[in-house]
Structure 1
Amino acid sequence: MSDEETLKIYAAQAHDYAKLTRTDADSPDLAAFLAFLPQGAHVLDLGCGPGQCAAHMAQHGCRVEATDASPEMIALASAHRGVCARCEVFDDLDAVNRFDGVFANFSLLHAARKDVPRHIAQIAQALKQGGIFHIAMKTGIGQSRDGIGRRYSYFCEAELEEMITMNGLDVIRRNHGAGIGLSGEIADWVVLQSRKL
């Protein structure tokens, strides 16, 4: 279930968030994700935000579907050429063996903590055999709100890897770092990229 307070914040600050994330498409993590995919891959950007990464994937030759629970973010994402964007929550994902890749870049961290295992299972089901799953999450313990009121669910790397592997995926790349988000707070993060066996 989407968190209404989080959605209100993104509605009010959609353009600020787009400015903050304008260089996300230059990420080495996105480059690595694309390198794992076949030419012309069918990709889902799950929680696409303003759509910069989805646009970069489309420019790279991918067939891109992009979803986000925020209508304001979908409006921004839809403005990018080659991006098919629609307003959906994580629970709307019911595809089976459909995608060559699912890109969940700092999006699932807004789901309720108890729901994240189910969402990862949905993603695994949506991937074709050999498909690539990218997840980026802030690391930590529990669930709380940041300084501007957005809900965050935190996991340690081992917890995330366990949820991934129990759904038939094998972690093939990982990255770690820290950064400043929309709230101005610094947070540690982890990226795990895995392949469906």
Structure 2
Amino acid sequence: MSDYYNRNAESFIKATQTVDMTAIRNRFLAALPQGASGDTRLLDAGTGSGRDARAFRLAGFRVEAFDASPAMVRAATAFAAIPVRQMCFEKFEWEHPFVGIWACASLLHVAQCDLPSAMQRLADHLVFDGILYVSFKFGTGERNKDGRHFTDMTEETLSAVLDECPSLRQVDIWRSQDRRTDKKNDIWLNALLRKE
């Protein structure tokens, strides 16, 4: 998977780094537990170009991040001005918990059979009442495109995954149009999940 991003780093960064995700980031931040403030610790899981990690840092949050691709790790470290670790969801572990975990367009590269355990590992690194944001391409099944694996989701299939993640409760789910101008017909499934 990371081979694609290593080979196509420049074009991927150009296509994603300036995409305006403000509205969805604000929805995520508004869902954080009462009392969350600017020094709250957030994780950008699968940060890609570092766009959102940078926005959270500039908003005053303590942001940490990881990505599976060495090229994305270098790009995000430079752009977000934070240390970014190289890591994949299947081997994710961290030394402390987070109030919020942002997994924007990243878990969609995890195979469907591995999604419950990957999401549970993220949930295990949330504080009680913490929020996990996830987004997937809207659809059903798994597919490969340009050397990348995609697991698509509907409300029903995401609900089935969450049945295997007992500590996560769905608090908000919605569809949105892709924010990239050349992908306007792509629909995304977004969800905010709370740790209980």
Which category of TM-score, normalised to the shorter sequence, fits these structures? 0.7 to 0.9
Cα separation, 1, equivalents of 2:188 and 2:80: 30
Q: Find the counterpart in structure 2 of residue 86 from structure 1.
A: 85
Cα separation, 2, equivalents of 1:97 and 1:142: 34
Q: Does residue 20 of structure 2 align to residue 21 of structure 1?
A: no
Q: Deviations over 1:129-156 (max 9, x none)?
A: 010100000122221112x231111222
Percent identity of the aligned residues?
28
4+ residue runs of structure 1 moved beyond 6 angstroms? Answer: none
Q: Is the 8 A contact 2:21 2:179 kept in 1?
A: no
**Corresponding residue SS for 2:186:** strand
Aligned partner letter, 2:147: G
Cα separation, 2, equivalents of 1:79 and 1:66: 12
TM-score (norm 1): 0.86
The range that moved more, 76-85 or 126-135, is 76-85
**Corresponding residue SS for 2:83:** strand
Aligned partner letter, 1:159: T
Q: Is the 8 A contact 2:177 2:184 kept in 1?
A: no
How far off its partner does 1:184 sit? 6.2
Alignment of 1:178-197 (within 5 A): 178-179=177-178, 186-197=185-196
Q: Find the counterpart in structure 2 of residue 121 from structure 1.
A: 120
Aligned partner letter, 1:163: V
Distance 1:26 1:185, change over 3 A: closer
TM-score (norm 2): 0.87
The range that moved more, 167-176 or 14-23, is 167-176
Aligned partner letter, 2:113: K
The range that moved more, 36-45 or 162-171, is 162-171
How far off its partner does 1:82 sit? 4.5
How far off its partner does 1:162 sit? 3.8
Gaps in structure 1 of 5+ consecutive residues: 1-5
The range that moved more, 73-82 or 90-99, is 90-99
Cα separation, 1, equivalents of 2:19 and 2:172: 18
Cα separation, 1, equivalents of 2:144 and 2:84: 27
Cα separation, 2, equivalents of 1:121 and 1:83: 25
The range that moved more, 161-170 or 74-83, is 161-170
Q: Find the counterpart in structure 2 of residue 31 from structure 1.
A: 26
How far off its partner does 1:164 sit? 3.2
Aligned partner letter, 2:150: Y
Distance 1:84 1:36, change over 3 A: farther
Q: Deviations over 1:117-176 (max 9, x none)?
A: 110111111110010100000122221112x23111122212213433643222222221
Gaps in structure 2 of 5+ consecutive residues: none
Cα separation, 2, equivalents of 1:53 and 1:81: 8
Q: Does residue 174 of structure 2 align to residue 175 of structure 1?
A: yes
Distance 1:129 1:24, change over 3 A: farther
How many residue pairs were aligned? Answer: 191
C-alpha RMSD over aligned residues: 2.3
**Corresponding residue SS for 2:147:** coil
Distance 1:161 1:62, change over 3 A: farther
